[in-house]
Protein backbone atom coordinates (compact mmCIF):
# COMPACT_ATOMS: atom_id res chain seq x y z
CA UNK A 1 0.00 0.00 0.00
CA UNK A 2 1.33 3.41 -0.94
CA UNK A 3 -0.36 6.56 0.25
CA UNK A 4 0.56 9.94 -1.27
CA UNK A 5 -0.64 13.23 0.17
CA UNK A 6 -0.16 16.80 -0.99
CA UNK A 7 -1.80 20.19 -0.38
CA UNK A 8 -4.66 19.45 -2.80
CA UNK A 9 -5.58 15.90 -1.82
CA UNK A 10 -4.47 12.29 -1.39
CA UNK A 11 -4.09 9.12 -3.42
CA UNK A 12 -3.79 5.50 -2.33
CA UNK A 13 -2.30 2.62 -4.31
CA UNK A 14 -2.46 -1.12 -3.75
CA UNK A 15 -0.40 -3.47 -5.94
CA UNK A 16 0.37 -0.44 -8.15
CA UNK A 17 -3.36 0.18 -8.79
CA UNK A 18 -4.89 3.45 -7.65
CA UNK A 19 -7.68 2.64 -5.20
CA UNK A 20 -8.17 6.06 -3.52
CA UNK A 21 -8.26 9.53 -5.06
CA UNK A 22 -9.32 12.45 -2.87
CA UNK A 23 -9.39 16.13 -3.70
CA UNK A 24 -9.65 17.85 -0.34
CA UNK A 25 -7.12 20.32 1.04
CA UNK A 26 -8.62 20.28 4.56
CA UNK A 27 -5.64 18.40 5.97
CA UNK A 28 -2.86 19.94 3.89
CA UNK A 29 -0.42 19.66 6.79
CA UNK A 30 -0.14 17.92 10.14
CA UNK A 31 0.49 14.41 11.43
CA UNK A 32 -0.48 10.94 10.27
CA UNK A 33 -1.10 7.67 12.05
CA UNK A 34 -2.07 4.06 11.48
CA UNK A 35 -5.07 2.59 13.27
CA UNK A 36 -7.33 -0.45 13.44
CA UNK A 37 -10.87 -0.24 14.75
CA UNK A 38 -12.26 -3.20 16.64
CA UNK A 39 -9.50 -5.62 15.72
CA UNK A 40 -5.80 -6.29 15.64
CA UNK A 41 -3.13 -5.45 13.09
CA UNK A 42 0.61 -5.69 12.70
CA UNK A 43 2.58 -3.09 10.77
CA UNK A 44 5.98 -3.67 9.23
CA UNK A 45 8.27 -1.44 7.20
CA UNK A 46 6.23 1.73 7.66
CA UNK A 47 8.22 4.50 6.01
CA UNK A 48 7.51 8.17 5.57
CA UNK A 49 9.39 10.27 3.05
CA UNK A 50 8.89 13.49 1.18
CA UNK A 51 8.50 13.03 -2.56
* Domain tally, the chain: 1
- The structure's pTM equals 0.56
Q: For residue 4, is it within any domain?
A: yes
pLDDT value of position 19: 95
Q: For residue 50, is it within any domain?
A: no
- Beta-carbon contacts of residue 28 (< 8 Å; ≥ 6 apart): 6, 7, 8
Q: For residue 19, is it within any domain?
A: yes
Q: For residue 46, is it within any domain?
A: no
pLDDT value of position 46: 84
**Domain that includes residue 8, residue range:** 1-25
Q: What is the pLDDT of residues 11-35, one digit of tens each?
A: 999 999 999 998 987 877 778 788 8
pLDDT value of position 14: 93
Alpha-carbon distance of 31 to 18, in angstroms, equals 23
Q: For residue 16, is it within any domain?
A: yes
Q: For residue 38, is it within any domain?
A: no
Amino acid sequence: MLFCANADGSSGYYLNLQVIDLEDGTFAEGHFGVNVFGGQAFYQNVRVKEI
